[in-house]
Amino acid sequence: MLSTTPRTTLGREKHRGSTDRDDLYEVLDSGLICHLGVVLDGHPMVIPTGYGRIGETLYLHGSTGAKSLRAGDGTEVCVTVTHVDGIVLARSIFNHSVNYRSAIIYGTARLLTDEDERLDGLRALTEQLAPGQWDYARKPTRKELAATAVLALSLEEASVKIRSGAPDDEDEDYALPVWAGVLPLVTAWGAPEPDPVLADGIEMPVHISARQ
């Protein structure tokens, strides 16, 4: 179960909240990009970035030159992941909505310095985007690792909110001659596009072709 804190307590639409930790994992594990919120030089900044999860820890990465990553070390940050599953078309404009799954994580981030944990975090990030790729492609060199920053964030304080289903119209609006329903949104992988300079004879690995 997710613990409730003042920051994770929903103020509106409380019935859409979930305290099931498995729902948190599902939202995170189904995503590709998160948004990292930090305060930099007294101003808020929200950065889209890759991430990966190992157990109760979320890993985020960027360049060591990125101010946002350095600002996140040892400070309070906020990370969000959102999936849009459909547009809810109601009989009234006021009751239009979106079907979605979302998660917000609060906590103090830490910049990783231990090489083994950094590699674990980078593996989680890589596998989040393309499962199987870490063991297939060349591993990072020391120079590449030196140019890469990895933040770790505990999933201890998190909030999950989910909306699904049909429009919720006013009782008097159900008699209106207006079509209402849900326009589902589905994200799917397209056909892989080989690098134009790919050497002859190199076949597409199974972990990539299987995602078509």
CA distances from 185 to 44, 85, 97, 188, 200 (A): 31, 5, 13, 10, 38
Radius of gyration of the chain (CA): 21
Strand duo 97-108 + 76-89: pairing: antiparallel
pLDDT in tens, 157-179: 999 999 999 999 999 999 999 99
- The whole-number pLDDT of residue 42 equals 86
28: nearest Cα among 72, 58, 4: 58
Report the pLDDT value the prediction gives residue 81, as an integer from 0 to 100: 98
Q: How many CA atoms lie within 13 A of 196 on its CB side?
A: 0
What distance in Å separates the CA atoms of residue 208 and residue 148, rounded to the nearest whole number? 25
- What six digits make up the tokens of 21? 């930790």
Report all structural domains of the chain as residue ranges with CATH numbers, in order of start. Answer: 14-209 (2.30.110.10)
78 contact partners, CB below 8 Å, separation of at least 6? 36, 37, 104, 105, 106
Residue 15 Ramachandran class (φ > 0 left, ψ -120 to 50 alpha, else beta)? alpha
pTM: 0.92
69 pLDDT more than 70: no
| 161 backbone dihedrals φ, ψ, rounded to 5° | -135, 135
Give yes or no for a contact between 30 and 83, defined as CB atoms under 8 angstroms apart.
yes
Q: How many CA atoms lie within 13 A of 127 on its CB side?
A: 14
176 phi and psi angles, rounded to 5 deg: -70, 145
pLDDT in tens, 76-92: 999 999 999 999 999 99
- Cβ burial of 36 (10 Å; 0-12, 13-18, 19+) is buried
User: pLDDT band at residue 57, thresholds of 50, 70 and 90?
Assistant: very high
Compute how many other C-beta atoms are within 10 angstroms of the C-beta atom of residue 187.
Answer: 9
